[in-house]
Amino acid sequence: MSARSRVPVSMIKSELVQRIAEHNPHLYQRDVENIVNAILDEIVAALARGDRVELRGFGAFSVKHRPARAGRNPRTGAHVPVDQKSVPFFKTGKEMRERLNRGNGTSEAGA
């Protein structure tokens, strides 16, 4: 079975912490967990301030603002107001896209 034909599996934060700890045996797992939490907390705090977070080669996190609008209840068809909201947005970096598309037989010339 090739790697491309396997069923997608998600990784949760505790599994990420465990993998990083395995690759860095000189660090305690609790320290790795604190580092991962600190990074994620800083990204969230920056987005909450309205900042953009760019991790070169990986991607950029930003916030998109969606205006208030009139929605529709799919069950009853009644119109309902939908408040404005801010949603997180992630755009992959060029290096990540190239690594993900390397060797899959597609041409990147038209991308």
What is the gyration radius of the CA atoms in the chain, in angstroms?
20
- Residue-range definition of the domain harbouring residue 70: 52-103
pLDDT tens-digit map of 7-60 = 778 999 999 999 999 999 999 999 999 999 999 999 999 999 999 999 999 999
Domain presence at residue 111: no
Same domain assignment for residues 42 and 64: no
DSSP one-letter code for 7: P
Q: Are residues 63 and 94 in the same domain?
A: yes
One domain for residues 17 and 47: yes
- pTM for the model: 0.73
> What's the structural domain count of the chain?
2
* DSSP string covering 49-99: TT--EEETTTEEEEEEEE--EEEE-TTT--EEEE--EEEEEEEE-HHHHHH
Q: What would the mean pLDDT of 65-94 be, rounded to a whole number?
A: 95
pLDDT category, 111, cuts 50, 70, 90? Answer: very low
CA 26 to the chain's CA centroid: 28
